[in-house]
Amino acid sequence: MKTAVYPGSFDPITNGHLDIINRASKVFDHLIVGVLINPEKQGLFNIEERVKLIQKVVKDIPNVKVESFSGLLIDFMKKNDIQVIVKGLRAVSDFEYEFQMSLMNKKLDSDKETVFMMTSAMNSYLSSSSVKQVAMFGGCIKGLVPEEIRFDIINKINRVYKKC
Ligand code: PNS
């Protein structure tokens, strides 16, 4: 049985992330979406909110679980018997950072493999930050995030930035 982790900040999950989750769930027996608890980076959504948003969109994929983790990804993998890291690559600009991170993880534990999936062309420009920026300035985020959480994101942004 092969278990993979798809790690990230997911602040919030976008259609680009969901595409990778859907595809990776068909390749691996189990997929854990690992949401990083990063005390140095205060996001828009807190960890519980991010986990809940992801759970809402993956609820019909039986082999996908969502969990938060802190510290080293490799340690989270060891504790949960996870063998593979799945990452999405959008463009050449992602490559250098991802390559460096995969080598560091390999150095920390040579038994773990990182597998890259090319993001689907229609999502290649998408990022959580750009989605937040569009929503913050009142732009339409339809088609950029899973439809069932679109209004959770808009409402949160309105509460935080527009104080209503
Ligand atoms: O969505 P992001 O912010 O690009 O995700 C980055 C993430 C969570 C994959 C990465 O920061 C991570 O794995 N952090 C855990 C700390 C760690 O294991 N660092 C060692 C590898 S450099």
For the stretch 87-143, pLDDT in tens is 999 988 899 999 999 999 999 999 999 999 999 999 999 999 999 999 999 999 999
The answer to whether the CB of 123 is under 6 A from ligand 1 is: no
pLDDT band at 60 (very low <50, low <70, confident <90, very high): very high
Structure tokens at 82: 């996870």
Rounded to 5°, the CA angle 121-46-40 comes to 90
For residue 92, what pLDDT is reported? 86
pLDDT at 162 over 80: no
pLDDT at 164 over 50: no
pTM of the model: 0.96
Domains, the chain, in order of start with CATH, read 1-123 (3.40.50.620)
Structure tokens at 139: 């732009």
| Residues placed in the known binding site | 9-10, 17, 41, 73, 87-90, 98, 123-129
The answer to whether the CB of 105 is under 6 A from ligand 1 is: yes
| Residues placed in the known binding site for ATP | 9-10, 17, 88-90, 98, 123-129
Structure tokens at 109: 């534990």
The answer to whether the CB of 101 is under 6 A from ligand 1 is: yes
